[in-house]
Structure 1
Amino acid sequence: MQIAVSPVPLNSVLAASLLTVIGAACFLGTPVILAAAVGDLVLSETQVGVLGSALLSGSAISAVMSAFLVRRYRWSLLAFMALLVEASGFLAASVVDTLPAILLPIWLASFGGGALYSLAMTVLSDHPQAVRLFGFAISVQVAFQVLMLLSMPWFMVPGGLADCLYALLGLCVIGACLIHLLPAQSAGSTNLDTMSVAEVLNQPKALLCLMACLVFFISIGAVWAYLERLGTLSGFAAVQLSQVLAGGVAISILGSITAVWQGSQYGDLLPLGGASAGMLAAVVMLQVPMSMMQFFVAFAIFNFFWNYSLSYQYAAVARIDSSGRYVAATPAFHSIGGAVGPLIAAVFVTSEQLIAVNVVAGIALLISFTLFYMALSTRRHA
């Protein structure tokens, strides 16, 4: 079955960009949600990890499913269903007061959010200036994350977890008002039949890009999970750490803005290589002991190139696979890599020595760029 639709209009671009924020709310708000949950649910460090896993794993699964559904049904319908699941999860989680009771609702919120995020990124991938739109969407996401971090003190009080979840529920309501702005389907003619597993496996270049995205986020996950320990072992107080995190995340907006300004004038491979080199330099700097300035500069550089790279990762996948299904699956691979990174590092770290974090992150960055190079350089000569 074939349908023809017009290119993605501006109002659809803006709506999709805002929907990426709502879809990624569980991930973007993870530090705040966990901080509020520690007080209200009295969680141990192990239980914090369990809840954090629930915040991430649902989106990984739904993003994989989205790759097979995103071109089959109307986007407004898919967005509505995803928002309904996400909102229901937040609402149910707000009325429970134990860890076992909150795990399923939070997982459902993550599941719905992941589907919404994948759909919104697919909408943006259909635009001729996809790189710039990805950069714009990521900038909006980072701005939201900064606001969430700044709001953390308001939610770290008795009852703060419910208030935090109500705020995220409110975002879902706003999202419901935006879905009518989404186009019916992709630009141009689109085959609405779902891909078979054989068709998925028959695109090795796209799979290489997805594996590169996964390995890239192994580095992200390893560093992000142990940032607090890196700072603590360097002698920084909790207030100082929170200021560094907020400042580093704020600076990362410049990375996505740079991608918006630069666009595709240098292709995808060169920016990806530059980002990997910059992040490697930051990883080398993040070694205990270090000064507060060294910690801040390293974290800011790491975040800058992380967000700069994301736009080109999505663009690389979109250029290789015009169907958009692999773009929809990209967040799933990011989520899986982000969850695996801390687990790999945890095998080797000790309470006093975290050099394994740097080693895991550095190796992952090198492997990730190698995979991108194999996919993109081959494509140029195909």
Structure 2
Amino acid sequence: MGGLLVPMVSGSVALLMLGVQPIVLGEMLGAGRVSLEGVGVVAMAEIVTLGLGVLLGDLLAWLHRLRWLTLGAVIAIVALNLLTPSMQGDAALALVRAAAGLAEGLLLWVTTAFIVRSERPARMAGVFFVLQTGAQALVGLVLARWLIPSYGWPAAFWVLAVAAVLPLLLLDGLPAALAPQVAAGVDPRAEPGRWRWTPAAVLSLLAVFLLMATLGALWAYAEPLGQRAGLDALAAQTVIAAALLAQIAGGTAGTALVGRLPPAPVLALAALLLGGVALAVYATAAQPAWFSPLCMVFAFVWLFMVPFHTALAFAVDRSGRVASLMPAAQLLGSAAGPLVASLVVEGDDASRAALVSFGCGAAVLVVLLSMRALRALAGRTA
């Protein structure tokens, strides 16, 4: 665990914006810096390039340039966060945040490279998400309660820029290189060059993609949905920050249970719960008493299921290759949800985003059932 501290801090910095997106984008929407449709586009742009950054790191495998990669990514993140408040309009903001996402993705790849090489990658993935969500909850609460009310939404990007410097202070603790072969938790006979795609590998990535789309569609529009339910802007922001604490509880529980429960059934149950919450959010307009507990359930399930993503990846592929691609699937799914939601919301009404979330949750069940059917078919033909 000690050797993972530095990459976990780096990954937490990389994902910090994702946790506070609803607060920051909601404030930018209120200030007229972004349109309601643009909320989804800007959120999507950063998350997509974050996923592409992870893919780029995996493809190029900069295992002997970890310190240089971290240094370059941090400098880019700081500069782009400082540049963001000067941008005006959906297109300009999306472009700058897309560039920031690419740098954040490269920084996250460093974390992923360490996790898939750990002795218990599924558990370490859970620990990482608990740590980074704790950082998001703290920053989100400070922004919602103090900094944004006092200094406006640009303060969020000032804080993100300052936080991004933290990995540089710990750079000496980062190993200069990693071995290309996954050291633990995988089949040592599985050589990277011999790895091939299988239907199970594709479906596992697709299931996680859709699960994160279920989350992303609702989360990107959490603040306008909260106001639709009857909360004022400050109350909606506070609920979002509190939901991050519920994520920590869920992530802690998921990390403790990941080695004891089968991943596919757990993820199916998660899809049912997330889809049910989304449908309930859609059905409970102007009922603020319902919105907060629904957000807490949504947030708890969110992080509870994350360690099971990695467990599912290793269940279908012991080489670790699918596990190394899982963060990209998670991030691209998180981007696809807001993108689709942005295409269906109308005017000031964000309610259809909840329906998109429900639809993605239903699609997860179809994919997981397809995986089960393939396993059954393989068992009969073996």
Give the TM-score range, shorter chain. 0.7 to 0.9
The equivalent residue for 1:268 is: 263
Checking the alignment, whether the CA contact within 8 Å between 2:11 and 2:108 is kept in structure 1 is: yes
Sequence identity percentage: 19
**Alpha-carbon spacing, 1:38–1:227, altered in 2? closer, same or farther (3 Å):** closer
Amino acid at match of 1:64: L
Matched, 1:98 2:87: yes
| Offset at residue 59 of structure 1 (A) | 0.9
Counterparts of residues 170-209 of structure 1 (less than 5 Å): 170-180=165-175, 183-185=178-180, 186-187=182-183, 202-209=197-204
String of CA shifts for 1:121-163, please: whole Å, max 9, x gaps.
2422333422222211111111011111112132561662562
1:297 deviates by 0.9
Distance in 1 between the 2:93 and 2:336 partners?
A: 23
The answer to whether the aligner puts 1:114 opposite 2:105 as a matched pair is yes
Q: 1:50 to 1:164 in 2, by over 3 A?
A: farther
1:137 aligns with 2:128: yes
Cα gap change, 1:42/1:311 in structure 2, threshold over 3 Å: closer, same or farther?
same
Q: Report the CA distance shift for 1:16/1:322 in structure 2 as closer, same or farther (over 3 A).
A: farther
User: Does residue 303 of the first structure (1) align with residue 299 of the second (2)?
Assistant: yes
- What 5-or-longer segments of structure 2 have no aligned partner? none
Change (3 A) 1:180 1:377: farther
Match of 1:4 in 2: none
Aligned to 1:224: 219
Alpha-carbon distance in structure 2 between the residues aligned to 1:105 and 1:351: 25
**Deviation (angstroms), 1:303:** 1.0
Counterpart of 2:247? Answer: 252
Question: Where does residue 33 of structure 2 map in the other structure?
Answer: 43
Q: Deviations over 1:206-243 (max 9, x none)?
A: 11111111111221122113322322222211121112
What is aligned with 1:87?
75
CA–CA distance in 2 between the matches of 1:169 and 1:267? 36
- Taking the aligned partners of 1:247 and 1:349, their CA distance within structure 2 comes to 26
TM-score (norm 1): 0.82
**Are 2:313 and 2:323, in contact at CA under 8 Å, matched by a contact in 1?**
yes
Does 1:333 pair with 2:329? yes
Alpha-carbon distance, 1:56 to partner = 2.0
CA contact (8 A) 2:212 2:330 kept: yes
1:168 maps onto 2:160 in alignment: no
State the Cα deviation string for residues 10-33 of structure 1 (Å, max 9, x = none). 322333332321222332343455
Amino acid at match of 1:289: A
Question: Which range is displaced more, 14-23 or 342-351?
Answer: 342-351
Instruction: Report deviation, 1:44.
Output: 3.2
Distance in 2, Cα, partners of 1:195 & 1:49: 38
What is the RMSD computed on CA atoms of the aligned residues?
3.4
Does the CA contact (< 8 Å) of 2:51 and 2:329 recur in 1? Answer: yes
- Output the CA distance in 1 between the equivalents of 2:374 and 2:39: 43
Q: Is contact 2:123–2:307 with CA below 8 Å preserved after alignment? A: yes
Q: How far, CA to CA, are the matches of 1:300 and 1:337 in structure 2?
A: 21
Whichever residue aligns with residue 167 of structure 1, its letter is V
Give the secondary structure class of the aligned counterpart of 1:260: helix
C-alpha deviation, 1:191, in angstroms = 9.5
Match of 1:215 in 2: 210
Count residues in correspondence. Answer: 366
Contact 2:274 2:301 in 1 (8 A): yes
Q: 2:12 is aligned with what amino acid?
A: V
Instruction: Tell whether the 8 Å contact from 2:209 to 2:333 is kept in structure 1 after alignment.
Output: yes
**2:77·2:161 contact (CA, 8 Å) conserved in 1?**
no
Please, which moves more after superposition, 266-275 or 299-308? 266-275
1:154 is aligned, of 144, 147, 157, to 147
Amino acid at match of 2:273: G
Aligned mate of 1:279, from 256, 260, 274? 274
Cα deviation for residue 302 of structure 1 reads: 0.8
CA distance in 1, matches of 2:66, 2:8: 16
The aligned residue for residue 312 of structure 1 is 308
Over 3 Å counting, the alpha-carbon distance change for 1:204 and 1:173 in structure 2 is: same
CA distance in 2, matches of 1:101, 1:356: 26
Offset at residue 301 of structure 1 (A): 0.6
Deviation at 1:84, TM superposition (A): 1.4
Mapped partners of 1:177, 1:38: distance in 2? 40
The question of whether the paired residues in 1 share the 8 Å contact of 2:49 and 2:98 is answered with yes
Aligned to 1:59, which of 41, 45, 50? 50
